[in-house]
Structure 1
Amino acid sequence: MRTTHALVQVAEVLMADQADRHWGYDLSKRAGVRSGVLYPLLTRLLDAGWLTDGWEDPSQLTERRPPRRYYELTDSGRRELGAVLQKAKVDPRFQGFTIGWAQ
């Protein structure tokens, strides 16, 4: 998968958050990636097997809204996105471009 700024931003959020489920809208806001860029990227991550997805159970909702789609990192995704972030740390294109890399 081609390493883009959007991929690095989304990878950082996915890897930093220990939550099992990630919501598209939340990912968009936290990563600073527009939905028109985010959702095609999430589709590529799903196709690569780095993410799985599902829908909230409508019977469990306490608010009046449609169920949300969630995304979960796979073990493969955790390894691959970790490698993407490691490479981005030394790639000149991403120097000075971090969301919160601790190391």
Structure 2
Amino acid sequence: MRTTHALVQVAMAMMADPDERHWGYSLGKDSGVRSGVLYPILRRMLDDGWVDDGWESAEEARKRPPRRYYVLTEKGREELGRLLQTARNDPRFRGLGLGFAQ
């Protein structure tokens, strides 16, 4: 997957809490990536085995439609960790707050 600002921002949002379920809407807010860019990234992550997905139960949803969630796989944690490490050393991503080696 090509390393873009949007991918790095989504990776940062997911890796901030790698063991939790991530909701598309929350990922968009946390990463600052708009939905037209976010959902194709999540689709590629699904296709590459970086995330699994599912739907919340009717009990969790209560009176609204169930939401789809995304959970990082072990492969996804490794790949996103590697991606973020590479991005830390890439000047293109300097403004994203990754912390840069001096």
Q: Same fold (TM over 0.5)?
A: yes
State the Cα RMSD in Å: 1.5
Q: 1:62: Cα distance to partner?
A: 5.8
**Runs of 4+ deviating beyond 6 Å:** none
Q: 1:95: Cα distance to partner?
A: 1.5
Give unpaired runs (5+ residues) of structure 1.
none
Q: Sequence identity, in percent?
A: 62
Which one scores higher on RCO, CA 8 angstroms, separation ≥ 6?
1
Correspondence 1:80-91 to 2 at 5 A: 80-91=79-90
* Matching of residue 97 in structure 1 with residue 96 in structure 2: yes
Q: 1:10: Cα distance to partner?
A: 0.4
Correspondence 1:46-85 to 2 at 5 A: 46-58=46-58, 60-61=59-60, 63-85=62-84
SS of equivalent to 2:96? coil
Paired residue type of 1:80: E
* Matching of residue 36 in structure 1 with residue 33 in structure 2: no
Q: Name the TM-score, length of structure 1 as normaliser.
A: 0.90
Paired residue type of 1:79: E
Instruction: State how many pairs are aligned.
Output: 100
Q: Which residue of 2 aligns with 1:8?
A: 8
